[in-house]
Amino acid sequence: MRQVLLAIALSFRAGYCLEVATPSQTVHPVPEPSVEIWLTLGRSRYYEGSLRAALEAYEKGVKLDPRSVEAWLNGAVILEETGDLRRALRWYEKAAALKPDAEIFNAAGWAHLRLADLAGATTAFHRAVELRSDHGFALLGLGRTALDSGNPEQALAWLDRAAAAAPNLNLIPYYQGKAHEALKNDDRAIESFRRSVVMDSYFSEGRDLLAKAYLRSRNYREAWDQWSKALDAEPKSRRLRSLLYKVQALLRHAPEQMKRRPPPPPVPLETESAPGQVPVLRVGVGTDPLGKIRARSSASFKVNTDFELVDPKTGKAWLAGQAHEAWHVSVKRAKKKRFLAFMSPAGRPPLEKPGPVSIRPKEPGRSVIWIDESSPAAMAVRGELEIAMHRGHLRLVNSLDLENYTHGVVSREMPIDSPLEALKAQAVLARTYALHLKKHRQTHRKDGYEVCDQQHCQVYAGVRAESPRSRQVVDDTRGRVVTYQGRVASTIYTANCGGHTQSGKEVWGHVPYWIGRSDAPEGRREILDPWELKQWLRAWPKSYCGPSAHVYPSHYRWTRSVSFKDIEEEMARKLKIGRLKSIRPLKRSQAGNVLSLLVQGDRRSVKVVSEIKIRGLLGLGSLRSTLFVMETELGKDGKPQAFMFYGGGWGHGLGLCQSGAMGRAESGQEHDRIIRDYFPGVEISQLSY
């Protein structure tokens, strides 16, 4: 139906006549164009990223039917996104006059606030609160206007009410912190900023202000800790780095001493080695966040049983080692040649080899190899460990069977206290995805392994990830994988889809079972109007992946307020655009995720299309997802000051939604049904071993 309407709308635009009656035919009246046509056209132009054409459609809509609230509201959103805030306000006022509604007054309030028109904002927010006394965003807006008018005490009164109405909104404690700051009460400010980052660990803006408050209270240790966390999220920020150096100089102890101690060694569970023809995986361990070999030239290891150092190609044993001996391996150089030197503790002559060497334990069923036991990055693995040189660095590859590998993944990809059927779905997906990478993708062929141990493929933590519950989950689904037309499927997953998953063809390419779908028990209208999308992201619609005992609220809905300066610094560094003028989301997927972003600077404009880049560009650290709407706030001088984001979900939004799997398991669904719901058309198959 929508397609038909669209075709009609398009023919109107092109000036074609719909029906031409000939004298011999019965004359059908030409249907009156309705406002629906323009709403449909406006929506599709908005998702295509043609904001000007979308606005034209809504302009035609309000001309045709000046009583269409939808046309006024959707037009207002487009006007806001194109930076014409004054006109957006007039459109909101038209809509509010037709339908006095708290959401509309709230939207108008924020538009006034973004124009630094505090009196207008106050009036609009009051109207919203009169209609709905627990409107969290309108109460937050009143707090902000009071704060911007230099009245922090009144701001706190509003913000307290806001916090009671919207307990999961991290911007509220953030502004409470700012109000306490204005009142010179750093203890209370610290408390509030801390709450804002506890609510959402991605909220680096809150962390930054928290560190500053610690610095003012001379708590250098905490200031250092918070800034180093912020810098972990945004490693190249010059501003954060210089702050960290500044506070480092004030510390009595060197920061190295404050680094976290290594975790205690894991206690391996007694397990059977998987019998039969279980596929063996080559897993790159200790890799960097992109799954590449980390620059390192030495490592230590220990095995809990006797072992041999063997030639991985021939299986020939070169040297025998004993249980619990501490060994060391490093890249050495002599006569312009590099080689590996394995040193045992007993002072025996070292084993020196130019090629790869494997550590092969004598009792595969119960053996564990510890790597770098005394470092914070310590790891313990089952199976064998191959050590080789790769461009002058050490490359560590753990070869182990698919079942034990899955065991090392499950609890790292989903909290182990999640509902059992969700964990089983996770185990089937982890096993399937690894096998898919091994058989069909070979992403890491040049690195010399089949999967890495990072999020890039999926997080593998070896024995440390194991527990009796994870063993139960893996054993209960032993050999179970997802297939599509007989082929091992590419079972990607996302932490939280935000309420609607994305289709592969809109993002990374068509895969028949990567189909975007609503994650709500009652479904969602497939494509939301611009106004509906904004409301949907500002609310907490019922969904399988919504907040629960297992799902943290900020994984489902999040807000950010990023300073213009921070984003400008990042854009200048990454995109070389000169001074930042504006940022505008263009194309969106049907779910609502931003697929392309236009960044305009005074030197050039850049269109950003990669999901990871879009998330990484906007703000200190990255955004949780590309599912967001954004607003630009102007200062009194009319220049941009900050960007506000209303977002949903965490991760790329494709495939299985992990939070959704938990919600479905809670509502009684079993793991195979959960998997089939997220990947329409797949089958659950059994590997024969």
CB closer to Zn ion, 42 vs 660? 660
The answer to whether 288 and 454 are in contact (CB under 8 A) is: yes
Interactions with Zn ion, residue window 92-121 (CB under 5 A): none
Q: Which stretch binds Zn ion (CB under 5 A): 51-59, 119-127, 157-165, 517-525?
A: 517-525
Q: Which is nearer to Zn ion, 410 or 562 (CB)?
A: 410
Of 81, 506, 519, 570, which lies in the binding site for Zn ion, with binding defined by CB under 5 A? 519
Q: Which of 369, 279, 353 is nearest to 317 (CA)?
A: 353
Q: Collapsing DSSP states into helix, strand and coil, what is residue 374?
A: coil
Sole window of 135-143, 421-429, 651-659, 678-686 interacting with Zn ion (rule: CB under 5 A): 651-659
CA pair distance 279, 266, nearest whole angstrom: 25
Question: What angle, rounded to 10 degrees, do the helices at 85-98 and 69-81 form?
Answer: 160
Binding mask 278-297 for Zn ion (x = CB under 5 A): -------------x------
Of 298 and 548, which CB lies nearer to Zn ion in the complex structure?
548
**Cβ at position 519, least distance to Zn ion in Å:** 3
Q: How far is the CB of 375 from Zn ion (least distance, A)?
A: 22
Q: How far is the CB of 493 from Zn ion (least distance, A)?
A: 10
The only residue of 285, 379, 545, 608 in contact with Zn ion, by rule CB under 5 A: 545
Q: Which stretch binds Zn ion (CB under 5 A): 2-10, 98-106, 247-255, 652-660?
A: 652-660
Dihedrals phi, psi of 87, to nearest 5 degrees: -70, -35
Between 284 and 383, name the residue whose CB sits nearer to Zn ion. 284
- Min dist CB 502 to Zn ion, Å, is 11
Minimal distance in Å, beta carbon 660 to Zn ion? 3
Contact, 429 vs 491, CB < 8 A? Answer: yes
Choose the stretch contacting Zn ion; rule: CB under 5 A; options: 164-172, 256-264, 513-521, 607-615.
513-521
| Residue 140 CB-density burial (10 A; 0-12 exposed, 13-18 middle, 19+ buried) | buried
Q: Give whole-number Cα distances, 341 to 299, 313, 354, 355, 389, in Å.
A: 11, 19, 9, 11, 11
Q: Rule CB under 5 A: is residue 366 a binding residue for Zn ion? A: no
Q: Which helix (H) or strand (E) holds 396?
A: strand 393-401
Closest contact distance (angstroms) between CB of 442 and Zn ion is 11
Of 545 and 682, the one with the shorter C-beta distance to Zn ion is: 545
Cα–Cα distances in angstroms (integers) from residue 617 to residues 254, 470, 569, 645, 651, in the given order: 32, 37, 10, 13, 15
Question: Of 74 and 659, which CB lies nearer to Zn ion in the complex structure?
Answer: 659
Nearest alpha-carbon partner for 107 in 132, 80, 131, 143:
80
Question: Which residues, numbered 429-468, are part of the site for Zn ion (CB under 5 A)?
Answer: 452, 456-457
3 state DSSP class of 252: coil
Residue 590, C-beta contacts closer than 8 angstroms, at least 6 positions apart: 47, 500, 502, 503, 506, 516, 526, 527
Binding residue for Zn ion, selected from 77, 129, 310, 657, defined by CB under 5 A: 657
Q: How far apart (Å, rounded) are the C-alpha atoms in residues 107 and 110? A: 5
Stretch that binds Zn ion, among 22-30, 295-303, 543-551, 668-676 (CB under 5 A): 543-551
Q: Which of residues 138-177 bind Zn ion (CB under 5 A)?
A: none
Total residues at interface with Zn ion (CB under 5 A): 9
Nearest to 381 by CA among 471, 251, 451, 285: 285
Count of residues in the chain: 689
Residues 481-500 within binding reach of Zn ion (CB under 5 A): 497
DSSP class of residue 293 equals P
Residue 225 or 519: the one with the smaller Cβ distance to Zn ion is 519
Site string for Zn ion, 602-641 (x = CB under 5 A): ----------------------------------------
Torsion over CA: 288, 292, 296, 299 (sign): positive
Q: Supply the minimum distance, in Å, between the C-beta of residue 678 and Zn ion.
A: 9
Closer CB to Zn ion, 171 or 657, in the complex: 657
The SS3 call for residue 319 is strand
CB-wise, 414 or 545, nearer to Zn ion?
545
Q: Which is nearer to Zn ion, 291 or 585 (CB)?
A: 291
Closer residue to Zn ion (CB): 447 or 568 = 447
Minimum Å distance from CB 131 to Zn ion?
Answer: 31
Looking only at the bridges linking them, the beta strands covering 493-494 and 656-657 are parallel
Helix then strand then coil, in percent of the chain rounded to 5, is 45, 20, 40
Output 456 or 478, the one with its CB closest to Zn ion. 456
* The one segment of 88-96, 258-266, 505-513, 653-661 that binds Zn ion by CB under 5 A: 653-661
Closest by CA to 369, choosing from 431, 300, 419, is: 300
Q: How far is the CB of 411 from Zn ion (least distance, A)?
A: 19
The answer for residues whose C-beta is within 8 angstroms of residue 315's C-beta and 6 or more apart is: none
Site of interaction with Zn ion (CB under 5 A): 291, 452, 456-457, 497, 519, 545, 657, 660
